[in-house]
């Protein structure tokens, strides 16, 4: 009995940091003695079952609250040994803890195995952990070997798991080029590959194996030039995310059930060969290019977004949609996004967007309800094109935004072109409810207080909606409306 107690105490010490000094809480306005007693008639068996779903570190901590639950972590289902767990620990300590937990685990199920470790020299140990988790009906496998100097070679046997529904791999080498009978991947719902070398054959084979795939994420992957998404027979495939796969120059999509498409990378030719009726959500972030901007690439994409309700793009993509010369005449692109409800734009250096480019796009979105623009460090440098062409068109453009309720401009520096754009929106949003201007961090709002109050008076005089609430705040006080799409999504 004594030999068993010592390892349990050692495990608690390893898994839990030293306790912090307790601070007595003061309850203002509440008499804790008058609280109604709370009776939670929950059996210890039920609590033990609940604790089994906690991350292993939390399960050990919770087990210290009750002697009966002290060993509940031995039946834990979520083996989370990711970045949070590895922080502050050397590799040898991680190996000892993880090996110990696997050796004493008494549960019949391990739902999730998440690893973050440098695998060089301990490949056999890591493979042993994965095998043990597979034998206990593993559902989610998340392997991050980004600390290594070379990719971790993952053989097909570790993927042939019938219970697997989520697979996330970082800095791994997959051997799937040859046709293999991987029945285990047929129930896979989410596949996320980061920093993995891909081939066209590998992607084709994966879609052949994963008939129930719902989400595919390809982040920082290389070697592949043509990405073919053959998902015509995949009735559950809904989300495709491609981020900074620098070798890709073309994406062909055959996915009639696709609902969300996220892309960040070089200017690529993206073509939808199937219906985009279900596509409601899109992020398009094209990296700035020094060469000639291929307008056709952007225009081909936007024509397939007619059913999208939430759209995020950057200024490079928007620049590809602006007016260009056709037969010696400057012409605007003809399109309409009638279903668009929320639009978010990130302005970036290296692009030549002007206020008319933004307005020219949004006038084709007559039902837009929310507009978010992040100026960042961007400043409008309009030049001769603005003075000779765009400024006149901007002043003559008079669409009404009768559905627009929310405007939020981040990085607003009160520059002349920014104020012109704001004046345009305020004068044409007849039912606007909220305008939020978030200033850069380097603006001293106390020093600029009188000037800000003067601007508020201008804004109130510009607005077509008398009920519009105008708020000017810094980044730390930004508590107002937030867009659906975060700036960093991978």
pLDDT value at position 53? 72
- The DSSP code sequence of 313-380 is EEHHHHHTTS-EEETTEEEPPP---TT--EEEEE--TT----HHHHHHHHTT-TT--EEEEE-TT---
Q: Does residue 33 have a pLDDT over 60?
A: no
Lowest mean pLDDT among 120-129, 147-156, 210-219, 378-387: 378-387
Using an 8 Å Cβ cutoff, are 354 and 378 in contact? no
- pLDDT-based confidence at residue 156 (cuts at 50, 70, 90): confident
Global pTM reads 0.89
Interval 404-415 mean pLDDT:
97
Interval 237-258 mean pLDDT:
98
> How many Å apart are CA 349 and CA 353, to the nearest integer?
10
What is residue 293's DSSP assignment?
-
DSSP-assigned beta bridge partners for residue 152: 172
pLDDT value at position 177? 56
> How many Å apart are CA 482 and CA 430, to the nearest integer?
22
- pLDDT-based confidence at residue 60 (cuts at 50, 70, 90): confident
pLDDT value at position 429? 98
Interval 421-430 mean pLDDT:
97
Using an 8 Å Cβ cutoff, are 189 and 164 in contact? no
φ/ψ region of 376 (left if φ > 0, alpha if ψ in -120 to 50, else beta) reads left
pLDDT digits (tens, 9 = 90+) for 301-310: 999 999 999 9
Tokens at 86, concatenated: 């590895």
Q: How many CA atoms lie within 13 A of 358 on its CB side?
A: 28
pLDDT value at position 147? 97
In this predicted model, which residue has the larger pLDDT, 268 or 16?
A: 268
Tokens at 288, concatenated: 């700035």
pLDDT value at position 330? 72
Rounded to the nearest integer, the mean pLDDT of the chain is: 87
- What is the residue whose two structure tokens read 């800095």? 171
First to last CA, the chain: 49
Q: Does residue 442 have a pLDDT over 70?
A: yes
Tokens at 376, concatenated: 């960042």
Q: Does residue 72 have a pLDDT over 90?
A: no
Interval 156-171 mean pLDDT:
93
pLDDT value at position 459? 94
Using an 8 Å Cβ cutoff, are 410 and 382 in contact? no
Q: Does residue 18 have a pLDDT over 50?
A: no
Residues across the chain: 490
Interaxial angle between packed helices 416-428 and 355-362, expressed in degrees from 0 to 180 and rounded to the nearest 10: 20
> How many Å apart are CA 82 and CA 75, to the nearest integer?
19
Interval 178-198 mean pLDDT:
86
- pLDDT-based confidence at residue 196 (cuts at 50, 70, 90): very high
C-alpha dihedral sign at 73, 76, 78, 81: positive
What percent of the chain has a predicted confidence (pLDDT) above 90? 67
pLDDT value at position 394? 94
Tokens at 19, concatenated: 């306790």
Tokens at 404, concatenated: 């627009």
pLDDT value at position 15? 64
Interval 79-83 mean pLDDT:
95
pLDDT value at position 243? 98
E-assigned strands of 295-383?
310-314, 324-326, 329-331, 342-346, 370-374
- For residue 451, report the phi and psi dihedrals to the nearest 5 degrees: -65, -40
Lowest mean pLDDT among 62-66, 365-369, 419-423: 62-66
């Amino acid at each position: 009995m004594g030999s068993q107690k010592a390892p349990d105490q050692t495990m608690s010490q390893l898994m839990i940091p030293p306790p912090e000094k307790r601070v007595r809480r003061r309850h203002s306005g509440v008499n804790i003695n008058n609280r109604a007693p709370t009776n939670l008639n929950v059996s210890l068996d039920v609590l033990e079952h609940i604790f089994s779903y906690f991350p292993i570190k939390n399960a050990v901590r919770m087990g210290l609250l009750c002697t009966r639950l002290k060993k509940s972590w031995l039946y834990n289902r979520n083996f989370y040994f990711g970045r949070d767990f590895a922080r502050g620990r050397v590799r040898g300590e991680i190996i000892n803890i993880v090996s110990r937990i696997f050796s004493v685990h008494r549960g019949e199920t391990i739902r999730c195995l998440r690893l973050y470790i440098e695998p060089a020299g301990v490949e056999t140990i890591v493979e042993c952990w994965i095998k043990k988790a597979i034998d206990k009906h593993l559902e989610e496998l998340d392997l991050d070997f980004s600390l290594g100097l070379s990719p971790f070679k993952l053989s097909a046997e570790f993927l042939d798991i019938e219970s697997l529904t989520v697979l996330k791999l970082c800095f791994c080498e997959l051997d799937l080029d040859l046709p293999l009978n991987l029945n285990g991947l047929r129930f896979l719902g989410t596949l996320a590959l980061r920093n993995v070398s891909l081939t066209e054959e590998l992607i084709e084979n994966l879609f052949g194996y994963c008939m129930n795939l719902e989400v595919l994420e390809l982040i920082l992957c290389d070697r592949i030039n043509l990405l073919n998404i053959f998902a015509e027979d995949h009735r559950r495939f809904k989300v495709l995310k491609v981020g900074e796969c620098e070798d890709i120059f073309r994406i062909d999509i055959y996915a009639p059930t696709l609902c969300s498409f996220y892309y960040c990378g070089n200017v690529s030719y993206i073509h939808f060969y199937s219906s985009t009726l279900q596509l409601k959500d899109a992020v398009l972030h094209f990296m700035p290019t020094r060469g000639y901007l291929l307008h056709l690439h952007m225009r081909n994409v936007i024509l397939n977004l007619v059913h999208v309700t939430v759209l995020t793009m950057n200024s490079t993509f928007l620049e590809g949609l602006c007016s260009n010369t056709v037969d010696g005449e400057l012409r605007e692109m003809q399109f309409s996004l009638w279903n668009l409800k929320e639009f978010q734009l990130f302005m970036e250096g290296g692009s030549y967007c002007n206020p008319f480019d933004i307005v020219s796009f949004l006038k084709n979105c007559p039902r837009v309800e929310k507009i978010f623009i992040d100026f960042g460090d961007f400043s409008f440098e309009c030049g001769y094109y603005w003075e000779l062409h765009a400024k006149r068109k901007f002043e003559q453009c008079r669409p009404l935004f009768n559905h627009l309720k929310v405007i939020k401009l981040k990085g607003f520096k009160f520059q002349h072109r920014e104020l012109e754009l704001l004046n345009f929106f305020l004068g044409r949003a007849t039912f606007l409810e909220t305008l939020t201007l978030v200033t850069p961090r380097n603006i001293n709002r106390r020093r600029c207080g009188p000037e800000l109050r003067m601007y508020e008076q201008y804004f109130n005089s510009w607005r077509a909606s008398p009920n519009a609430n105008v708020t000017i705040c810094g980044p730390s006080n930004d508590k107002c409306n937030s867009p659906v799409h975060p700036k960093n999504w991978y």
